Amino acid sequence: MTWLSPSEIDALTLSLAVASRSVLWGLPPAVFMAWLLTRRRFLGHAALDALVHLPLVLPPVAVGYLLLLIFGTQGPVGGWLLRSLDIRLIFTRNGAALATAVMSFPLMVRAMRISLETIDRGLEDAARTLGAGPLDRFATVTLPLMLPGIIAGAITAFAAGLGEFGAVITFVANIPGETRTLPLALYTALQSPGGDAGAARLAIVSLSLGLGGLLLSEWFSRRVRRMLGR
Amino acid sequence: MLSVNVQKRRGVFSLDAQFELPTPGVLALFGRSGCGKSTLVELLAGLLDADSGRISLDGTVLLDKTLGTDIPAERRRIGCVFQDARLFPHLRVGANLRYGAHRSTGKPYVNFDAVIALLGLAPLLSRRCHQLSGGERQRVAIGRALLSQPRLLLLDEPLAALDSARRDEVLPYLEVLRDQLTIPMVYVSHQFDEVLRLATHLVLIDAGKTLAQGDIGAMSLRSELREIIGPEAVGSILEGEIQSIDGLSGLASVAIGSGILKVQSDGHAVGAKLRVQILARDVIVATREPEYLSVRNMLHGKVTAIARDTGEADLVSMDVGGAVIMARITHAATRDLGLAPGDAAWALIKAVSMRGRLFNPGA
């Protein structure tokens, strides 16, 4: 990869690390949230649904600012994390992953809800009559049948996460090697004199990653659907 | 003994069912579409919460609303076979079959190989579910339910989604199940020919209520059944053993009551237990012993009742050596013959109009 400069390679690997971490963290709560919003009716359902989707409609900078308020060293959660677990989120790659996870969370939940809605509830009833309790049913019937949605959601979130800009730069700033991900490096290159060539290279990398992610997601879900005979 | 007494309201529909089945046996829940059979199935399986009532099976209380007992579906040990099979699409046939077996808590009474052999599943084991025909899917569903070692097998219209060729392919397996295993079954259907082939007991359901119930021979004579299946399908259902087979004609002599009924042997051997339905519309009544007729069965008996049937017809019930045979004849014929209860009469039945089906439950 001599084509990219060392700092550009840093930005690329950092982006990959941040995006995969954000997907890893976001996946379990997204599965739970998709299940909760699809299968349960409760007071505050609509409010929770709106809250989950908020990052889609809010300016990313606003999300980053909110994260700063909550997870900053003075914030209620951030302060506690720092004091009791010595975990610091702002200005770190973990913080970048958190901001990315929050931004791509609705994408994951949406993809999973769609696949959850197509599952025949009768299959879960059948599992029940065969002796499977609630968790057993979820793990052996619901979850495997949700797989197309989970994969599609994860890959889309990963691809989107590679490009998260506003929330990341607001929450964890633009520190080379720690929080300067691809889009941040691209932005920095554009701001610096003579950085046009670098910006072009980073744009090409971003483009190919995004495109590859979307194609991969489509290919995966088609494969799984064929396996399930749909 | 399966004993059921449950109530459930669902919007404007209300279900109130009471029935009992001596075990082992095959109970048919029979009624028109929309009469509440499926609701009843869900209540039995525990998939739907009853408003009130009690369900017990061989001494185990599955539901008792007054005591607050309600064993959840996953621990009721009631194996279900649904109309749409509900095989798990992400698992191969073999894994589907083992799904319930792995989770079964009861003492195993059928093993994997026996079920595979009984239902002819060996060639299907490594297939994916979407590669199966409708009939194969149902056989796998039956096997899967059996392998969970249930106390009761609940079959909810398992053949309703199949065409008639596929139905005929699956029905013999269900007969084998009935005759070779001692598991009690509840079979839900709106097709009387399925009930006729499988059930030992019959519960009639209409508009959410149990109308009548009893063993199938007695139920075949009830007017409540006539209302549902229509006059053309009415007939007495009798069971008996093949005494002898005429080597020349191939006709089997079946002991029915104290008399003998000649039916086509259909490849069955001496000693086989058969169930025969004699459709009322196929029976001719004579008040004197006729001669020079092709008919193979002339059974002497006594008229026990004459009821006005639909249209211009009467339904004449005759006691023939302890067995009751019904004849659907025109009102004009009743009048011309001067038939009245207590009269001696002959019931004439063509051997070709009947078909004996193997029926040997729990053997």
Whole-complex ipTM:
0.87
- Band (pLDDT 50/70/90 cuts) for residue B50 is very high
pLDDT attached to residue B89: 93
Residues B252 and B199 in one domain: no
| Interface contact flag, A147 B74, Cβ < 8 Å | no
pLDDT attached to residue B85: 93
pLDDT attached to residue A2: 62
Choose one of B178, B211, B229: the last residue of a domain.
B229
What is the tens place of the pLDDT at every residue in B268-301?
A: 889 999 999 999 999 999 999 998 999 989 999 9
Residues B294 and B195 in one domain: no
* Residue B68 confidence (pLDDT) above 70: yes
What is the tens place of the pLDDT at every residue in B129-147?
A: 999 999 999 999 999 999 9
Residues B87 and B148 in one domain: yes
Angle, helices A6-39 vs A182-191, to 10°: value is 130
Residue B363 lies inside a defined structural domain of this protein: no
Residue A147 φ/ψ, nearest 5 degrees? -50, -45
Residues B211 and B289 in one domain: no
Residues B275 and B191 in one domain: no
In contact, A89 and A98? CB cutoff 8 Å: yes
In contact, A209 and B109? CB cutoff 8 Å: no
pLDDT attached to residue B38: 87
* Residue B363 confidence (pLDDT) above 70: no
Residue A96 lies inside a defined structural domain of this protein: yes
Number of domains forming the structure of chain B? 2
What's chain B's average pLDDT?
Answer: 92
Residue A1 lies inside a defined structural domain of this protein: no
How far away is chain B from the Cα of A128, in angstroms, using its nearest Cα? 5
| Interface contact flag, A132 B74, Cβ < 8 Å | yes
- Band (pLDDT 50/70/90 cuts) for residue B258 is confident
Q: Which two tokens stand for residue A70?
A: 């909550």
* Residue A230 confidence (pLDDT) above 70: no
Residue B121 lies inside a defined structural domain of this protein: yes
Highest-pLDDT range among A1-5, B42-46, B220-224: B42-46
Amino acid making up residue B254: V
pTM across the whole model: 0.86
Annotate chain A with three-state secondary structure. Answer: CCCCCHHHHHHHHHHHHHHHHHHHHHHHHHHHHHHHHHHCCCCCHHHHHHHHHHHHHCCHHHHHHHHHHHHCCCCHHHHHHHHHHCCCCCCCHHHHHHHHHHHHHHHHHHHHHHHHHCCCHHHHHHHHHCCCCHHHHHHHHHHHHHHHHHHHHHHHHHHHHHCCCHHHHHHHCCCCCCCCCHHHHHHHHHHCCCCHHHHHHHHHHHHHHHHHHHHHHHHHHHHHHHHCCC
The domain containing residue B102 runs over which residues? 2-229
In contact, B223 and B307? CB cutoff 8 Å: yes
Query: Residues 44..73 of B with a Cβ closer than 8 Å to A: which?
Result: 45-47, 72-73
| Interface contact flag, A126 B80, Cβ < 8 Å | yes
B78 to chain A: which residues are within 8 Å by CB? 129
Residues B256 and B213 in one domain: no
Residues B253-273 have a mean pLDDT of: 89
Residues B164 and B53 in one domain: yes
A221 to chain B: which residues are within 8 Å by CB? none
Residues B180 and B283 in one domain: no
Residues B262 and B187 in one domain: no
B84 to chain A: which residues are within 8 Å by CB? 122
Residues B88 and B34 in one domain: yes
B145 to chain A: which residues are within 8 Å by CB? 129-130
Residues B333-342 have a mean pLDDT of: 94
Nearest-angstrom CA–CA distance, A175 and A93: 9
Residue A53 lies inside a defined structural domain of this protein: yes
**A179: CATH:** 1.10.3720.10
B84 touches chain A (CB under 8 A): yes
How far away is chain A from the Cα of B229, in angstroms, using its nearest Cα? 30
What is the tens place of the pLDDT at every residue in B83-92?
A: 999 999 999 9
pLDDT attached to residue A219: 86
- Selected residue of B43, B86, B92, B142 to mutate for chain A interface (largest A Cβ count, 10 A): B86
Q: Which of A122, A128, A228 sits opposite B84 (nearest CB)?
A: A122
| Interface contact flag, A125 B47, Cβ < 8 Å | yes
Choose one of B163, B195, B229: the last residue of a domain.
B229
Residue B244 lies inside a defined structural domain of this protein: yes
Residues B189 and B276 in one domain: no
**B221: CATH:** 3.40.50.300
Tell me how many residue pairs between chain A and chain B have CB atoms under 8 A apart. 71
* Residue A160 confidence (pLDDT) above 60: yes
How far away is chain A from the Cα of B114, in angstroms, using its nearest Cα? 19
* Residue B154 confidence (pLDDT) above 60: yes
The domain containing residue A21 runs over which residues? 6-227
Residues B225 and B244 in one domain: no
Number of domains forming the structure of chain A? 1
B104 touches chain A (CB under 8 A): yes
| Interface contact flag, B131 A130, Cβ < 8 Å | no
B187 touches chain A (CB under 8 A): no
What's chain A's average pLDDT?
Answer: 90
Choose one of B190, B207, B229: the last residue of a domain.
B229
**B352: CATH:** 2.40.50.100
| Interface contact flag, A130 B148, Cβ < 8 Å | yes
Residue B45 lies inside a defined structural domain of this protein: yes
What is the tens place of the pLDDT at every residue in B156-213?
A: 999 998 998 899 989 999 998 898 888 999 999 989 999 999 999 999 999 899 999 9
